Amino acid sequence: MLIKGGHGSGPESADLLIGPNAFARFAADRIATENTHGTGCTLSSAIAAGLAKELSLSEAVGAAKRYVTDALAAADRIKIGSGHGPAHHFHAWW
Active site residue 53: no
Is 69 among the residues known to form the active site?
no
User: Is there a catalytic annotation at residue 33?
Assistant: no
Catalytic (active site) residue 65: no
Sheet holding 22-29, edge to edge: 2-3, 12-19, 22-29
Among the options 5, 8, 33, 40, which is catalytic?
40
The residue annotated as part of the active site, out of 6, 10, 19, 41, is 41
First to last CA, the chain: 33
- Among the listed residues 5, 6, 8, 38, the single catalytic one is 38
Active-site residue (options: 39, 42, 50, 65) = 39
Catalytic residue among 6, 36, 62, 85: 36
* Residue 83 among the catalytic residues: no
Compute the distance between CA of residue 30 and CA of residue 73 in angstroms, rounded to an integer. Answer: 9
Strand spans (E) along the chain: 2-3, 12-19, 22-29
Catalytic residues: 4, 36, 38-41
